[in-house]
Amino acid sequence: MITEEKLKILTESAKYDVSCSSSGSGRKNAGGMGNGYVAGCCHSFTPDGRCVSLLKILLSNDCIYNCKYCPNRLDADVPRATATPEEICELTIDFYKRNYIEGLFLSSAVYKNPDYTMERLLLVVKKLRTEYRFHGYIHLKGIPRADEKLTEEAARYVDRMSYNIELPSEQSLKLLAPQKSKESLLLPMKKLTEQSEAFREEKKKGLVKGYFLPAGQTTQMIVGASPERDGQILRLTQALYRKNGLKRVYYSSYVPVVKDKLLPEVGAGQLREHRLYQADWLLRFYGFSVEEIVDEGEDLAMELDPKCAWALRNMHLFPVEINRAPLEVLLRVPGIGAKNAYKIMEARKYTKLSFEDLTKMRVALKRAKHFITCNGKFFGAKNEYAVRGLLAQAETQESAEQLDLFGMLSTPQNALIALHGQL
């Protein structure tokens, strides 16, 4: 059994990896323990409100690299630990058996050299799958610059892999993570995407069995440690979704754990992170392209969510009739989420929906009412200024409730501005 001390060292710094998703894999139980849960599953929630789904742990925190923002960089004076493959396997199995976790998220500092680290990681996942006959979820972090063959082999054992881009531009990488480069991160991602496509083809033909990253790849970017604007970040995101076939991009607002003159002293607000996720949803599920959302050199508006902001720039498209608008249009109405859009599509087959019907169906109308008509009737505010003010006000109230704000919107001046719609 791994010691508590070692566990603490190896998990403390793994927590800044935001991805905890365990979704996307339908891996079957083939004797032994565990299976995938396509929808993903949260096993607990920590007091910071985050879901605990996977055992996030480093194989080692003993790093030869020197990324400026990282508490485990070579120069840092921190306790070091390296786990044995058996320690990781046992921990995974015993946590899983008790239903504490949905699986393992294994990552590592670059220990000795990239190839050696990747070999050890491969050893762990191979052992888990073959010796321990574990079929639960495994997310493996790839090590940049490791031998391609090792990476490809690992991909056959795990459900998901990720290379974290961390810094959204080559320049920032050079400055803050000198041993990494855009190339060293994007290249293996591309390779894996190609390989998994090839694998899927062969599997269809019955030529191969097993799995190859059934839950795909993801990546993460730190927001606010370097000067890139949201517009630039989201363009990279869009390219990763469209060209590299990534499943998800995560954003992590920078938390200053390390002092360095090249790094900002304060963290990026969580509000910025929140807005990026909202924009990301628009890209993935609502049929938006980044060009509609924000200019390259701009940041997302803080006072409004990106869908509202887009709608306000496109008032000529509204209001739309709730009983006739096609799905793609409903999805673009502020305040109507995907679930509600589908609910409306269903319910209107049986009756002409009135404003009251929507209320009964608990479709939130605070925002939507300014952009829709129900049987030709409009219930929103009269002019654009008023709409803008009311939306900002709704946002202030909700953010204050949901996100226990974050200075900016909770100051009385800003609330007042919001009320008057002058933002």
Select from 71, 46, 64 the least CA-distant residue to 255: 71
Interaction with other proteins in 2-31: which residues (CB under 8 A)? 2, 4, 7-8, 11-12, 14-15, 29, 31
User: Considering beta carbons, is residue 338 or 361 the nearer one to other proteins?
Assistant: 361
Interaction with ligand SF4 in 71-110: which residues (CB under 6 A)? 72-73, 109-110
The reply on whether position 400 binds other proteins by CB under 8 A is no
The reply on whether position 350 binds other proteins by CB under 8 A is yes
User: Considering beta carbons, is residue 43 or 235 the nearer one to other proteins?
Assistant: 43
**Number of residues near other proteins (by CB under 8 A):** 57
The rounded Cα 23 to chain-centroid distance in angstroms is: 12
Give the x-and-dash track for 301-340 against other proteins (CB under 8 A): ----------------------------------------
User: Considering beta carbons, is residue 187 or 255 the nearer one to other proteins?
Assistant: 255
> Pick from ligand SF4, other proteins, none: which does 63 bind, CB < 5 to 8 A by kind?
ligand SF4
Q: Is 415 left (phi over 0), alpha (psi -120 to 50) or beta?
A: alpha
Residue appearing with tokens 């919001």: 418
Among 9, 63, 101, 333, binds ligand SF4 (CB under 6 A): 63
Return the range that interacts with ligand SF4 (CB under 6 A); candidates 29-37, 62-70, 200-208, 257-265.
62-70
Hey, what's the torsion of the CAs at 8, 14, 16, 19, to 10 degrees? Answer: -130
User: Considering beta carbons, is residue 113 or 359 the nearer one to ligand SF4?
Assistant: 113
Contact 224, 217 (CB under 8 A): no
Give the span between the Cα atoms of 52 and 70, in whole angstroms: 22
The CA distances from residue 311 to 271, 305, 316, 334, in Å, are 20, 10, 9, 7
> Pick from other proteins, ligand SF4, none: which does 383 bind, CB < 5 to 8 A by kind?
none
In this structure, which amino acid lies at residue 420? H
Phi, psi of 372 (to 5 degrees): -130, 160
Smallest distance, other proteins to C-beta of residue 355, A: 11
Interaction with ligand SF4 in 123-182: which residues (CB under 6 A)? 177
Interaction with other proteins in 95-154: which residues (CB under 8 A)? 95, 97-100, 102, 136
Interaction with ligand SF4 in 343-382: which residues (CB under 6 A)? none
Smallest distance, other proteins to C-beta of residue 254, A: 13
Hey, what's the torsion of the CAs at 165, 171, 173, 178, to 10 degrees? Answer: 150
> Pick from other proteins, ligand SF4, none: which does 245 bind, CB < 5 to 8 A by kind?
none
Taking CB atoms within 8 Å and a gap of at least 24, the contacts of 383-390 are: 384/312, 384/315, 385/421, 386/421, 387/312, 387/315, 388/312, 388/421, 388/423, 389/418, 389/419, 389/420, 389/421, 389/422, 390/421
Residue appearing with tokens 């190896």: 10
Give the span between the Cα atoms of 44 and 55, in whole angstroms: 11
Give the x-and-dash track for 266-295 against other proteins (CB under 8 A): ----x-------------------------
The reply on whether position 223 binds ligand SF4 by CB under 6 A is no
Give the span between the Cα atoms of 279 and 275, in whole angstroms: 6
In this structure, which amino acid lies at residue 132? Y
Smallest distance, other proteins to C-beta of residue 377, A: 16
Give the span between the Cα atoms of 363 and 193, in whole angstroms: 39
Return the range that interacts with ligand SF4 (CB under 6 A); candidates 16-24, 37-45, 63-71, 167-175.
63-71
Residue appearing with tokens 């060209």: 243
> Pick from ligand SF4, other proteins, none: which does 110 bind, CB < 5 to 8 A by kind?
ligand SF4
DSSP 247: S
Contact 145, 114 (CB under 8 A): yes
Interaction with other proteins in 37-56: which residues (CB under 8 A)? 37, 39, 41-53, 55-56
Q: Report the interface residues with other proteins, using CB under 8 A.
A: 1-2, 4, 7-8, 11-12, 14-15, 29, 31-35, 37, 39, 41-53, 55-56, 91, 94-95, 97-100, 102, 136, 255, 270, 343, 346-347, 349-351, 353, 357, 360-362, 402-404
Q: Report the interface residues with ligand SF4, using CB under 6 A.
A: 63, 65-67, 70, 72-73, 109-110, 177
